[in-house]
Amino acid sequence: MAQTQADRVTVCYLQELKRQKQKITALTAYDYPVARILDEAGVDIILVGDSLGMVVLGYENTLPVTMEEMIHHTRAVVRARKRAMVIGDMPYLSFHLSLKDSVANAARFIKEAGADGVKLEGATPLRVQLVEALTEAEIPVMGHVGLTPQSVRRLGGFKVQGTEEEKAEAIFRGALALEKAGAFALVLESIPAELAREITSAVKIPTIGIGAGPDCDGQILVVNDMLGLTSGYLPRFVKKYAELGQQMNQAVSQYLKEVRAGLYPEEQHCYHLRPEKAGLVRKIKNKILKEKTKQTKENRK
C-alpha cells in the first residue's frame, strides 16, 4: 500500500483499505488521554461523537450538545493523535441552518479544532445539498444513515431502522445520494446486516458499521461502551472488551478503605527533607507562631 502504518490516515488511505478489502477500525474519544491510547493502539479513525453528551456530560440524549462543547473536546483529541483521522460530529441544530451558517459551523472543526473532517446525520435533500456545499468548501464529510440519534424524538426512540421495505429503500437511496454529493465515507447505524451488506457493495466509499453487521468496510463503537464504562442499558451490538467501570469502582473502594484506616500514604509515598535540614520546618513554625502572638498582643491594645 502507498501508506504505511506510521503515516497519517487520509481519505485516500481509507479508500485504499476498502479496495483491498481490509477492515477499517474506528472508535469514539472525547479527551486527550483516551485519544492518545487509541491512537497509539493504531485505530484508523477517532470520531469525536456528539455521544459525548450522554457518556461524558450526562445528558439524556445528544440533543443538548453545543458547538462549543464539540469544539472543546475535538481540540483535546486532536492534540493527542499522531496517526488517526479525527472527525468532529456536528451537533444538533449546527447544520440545520442556512447553507452559509452550516458551512461556517463545519469549518470551525477544521480551522479551530484541527479536525480532518466532519460527520453529519441524515440524507434528506437539504442534507445532501449541504454535503455538496461542504465538499465544495474542501471540508471532508462523513455521512450517517440508518438510526440517526439526533432524530430520536421523531423516530420514537433508539430503534433498528430499515426493517420494512419503504424505510430500507429510503436508507439505500440516502446512502447513494450522500456518496454522489461527495461524502468520503458513510456510517451505517442500527440497520439489518443484509441492508448494510448491499449498501456496502453498491457504494465506492467506505462504510463504517455500528449495529450493521460484519460486511461493512469498517466498524465503530462508543469507547465508553466497549470498555465497560457505561452503566445501564447497552444496545445488543455492543461487545464489552473490558470492565473498566468495575475495576475503577474496586480501585476507589480500596483507596477509601486505606485512607480511612491510615494505611495510605505509606513511607514510599512521602517526601522528606535532607537530614541537615530536619529542623527547618520547626524553626519556621516557631517563627510564625511568635509573629502571631506578637500581632495578637498588638491588636488587644
Over residues 61-106, the pLDDT tens digits come to: 899 999 999 999 999 999 999 999 999 999 999 999 999 999 999 9
Asked if residue 27 lies in contact with residue 226, where contact means CB atoms within 8 angstroms, the answer is yes
pLDDT, one tens digit per residue, over 257-294 is 999 999 999 999 999 999 888 899 999 999 999 989 88
Place of cell 483529541: 77
Same domain flag for 173 and 255: no
pLDDT exceeds 90 at position 247:
yes
Structural domain for 272, as ranges: 249-300
> Could you give the number of structural domains in the chain?
2
To the query of whether residue 189 is one of the catalytic residues in this protein, the response is yes
Establish if 113 belongs to a structural domain. Answer: yes
Q: Which residues contact 140 (CB under 8 A, 6 or more apart)?
A: 11, 116, 117, 118, 184
Establish if 3 belongs to a structural domain. Answer: no
Asked if residue 5 lies in contact with residue 40, where contact means CB atoms within 8 angstroms, the answer is no
Same domain flag for 42 and 190: yes
Q: Active-site residue among 121, 132, 179, 189?
A: 189
pLDDT for position 29: 98
Same domain flag for 154 and 259: no
Query: How large is the average pLDDT for residues 142-169?
Result: 86
Question: Pick from 86, 68, 102: which is nearest to 10 by CA?
Answer: 86
Take residue 222 and report the three cell numbers written for it: 462508543
CATH number of the domain that residue 139 is part of: 3.20.20.60
Same domain flag for 214 and 293: no
| Residue 188 β-bridge partners | 145, 209
pTM given for the model: 0.92
